[in-house]
Amino acid sequence: MLKKVVGAVVALVFLVGVYVFFHLLTSNQLNLGYNKYYQPEQPIPFSHKRHAGEFGMDCRFCHAGAEVSRHAGIPSVDTCMKCHNGNVNGKSEYSKKWIKKLREHYTKKEPIPWVKVHMLPDHVKFDHSAHVNAGKSCQTCHGNIENMEKVYQHSDLSMGWCVNCHRERKYEIEAQCDEPITDLYQGDAYIRDFVCDRKDTDGDFILNNCSTCHR
């Protein structure tokens, strides 16, 4: 009898432990896996699924920086007001409520305190424009944002993740340079300088030099 009670208590404690562990894991309080799947609550439930998915809005309408600078940027309330200034007030009670809240921010000139989803450590340099201009789509790194009701971190943003993709880039470039390139509009010299000769004095691929990503 006593054995059974002890057994049951041990089993219960174990199950509670497992539950607490997974709760902490999924709510990211253990900080494992570099915040992959981190999905914070936002002050206004802005839906990428509706705006970028259903309505088909271009990512760059709101994240114009992605092509031209380090940061993609988060749009100000002014950008939202291009539609929510009285034209789009919401059909359902839910939509009406939140669009009203959005307009209060605008009239009171209070920025919306969006909670950051992605955050690299300060010692890492990352530049959106370099990646977007090299033909990497937003979805490569951020997943199918246009299906997300609430944004979460899709990639782990670990050093291995960066370095692996840069290694693939190295193979891509090497493949291009093994063949003589004749039909590109900038001509061979351009390709040699900017694509093929990107090796440092040790012969390492420049994209994976420590100083490329670390200050």
Task: Using alpha carbons, select from 25, 37, 32 the residue that is nearest to residue 152.
Answer: 37
Contacts with ligand HEC, 8-27, as mask; x by CB under 6 A: --------------------
Question: Please, what is the minimum distance in Å from the beta carbon of residue 56 to ligand HEC?
Answer: 9
Site for ligand HEC in 159-198 (CB under 6 A): 159, 161-163, 165-166, 169
Question: Please, what is the minimum distance in Å from the beta carbon of residue 43 to ligand HEC?
Answer: 9
Question: What gap in Å lies between CA 73 and CA 12, rounded to an integer?
Answer: 48
Among the listed ranges 7-15, 16-24, 91-99, 175-183, the one in contact with ligand HEC (CB under 6 A) is: 91-99
Residue 101, token pair as written in the block: 């809240």
Site for ligand HEC in 128-147 (CB under 6 A): 128, 130-132, 134, 136, 138, 140-142, 145-146
Question: Please, what is the minimum distance in Å from the beta carbon of residue 112 to ligand HEC?
Answer: 7
Contact 172, 157 (CB under 8 A): no
Q: Whose Cβ is closer to ligand HEC: residue 25's or residue 90's?
A: 90
Task: Using alpha carbons, select from 107, 102, 96, 172 the residue that is nearest to residue 136.
Answer: 172
Specify the residue for token string 């939140």.
98
The site for ligand HEC, by CB under 6 A, has a size of: 73
Which SS3 state, helix, strand or coil, does residue 205 take? Answer: strand
Q: Whose Cβ is closer to ligand HEC: residue 25's or residue 49's?
A: 49
Give residue 171's region: left, alpha or beta (phi > 0; psi -120 to 50).
alpha
Q: Whose Cβ is closer to ligand HEC: residue 14's or residue 55's?
A: 55
80 binds ligand HEC (CB under 6 A): yes
208 binds ligand HEC (CB under 6 A): yes
Q: Whose Cβ is closer to ligand HEC: residue 10's or residue 97's?
A: 97
Sign (positive/negative) of CA torsion 206, 208, 211, 213? positive
Q: Name which position in 16, 22, 50, 199 contacts ligand HEC (CB under 6 A).
A: 50
Contact 198, 206 (CB under 8 A): yes
Q: Whose Cβ is closer to ligand HEC: residue 73's or residue 181's?
A: 73
Residue 215, token pair as written in the block: 């200050």
Rg (CA), the chain: 24
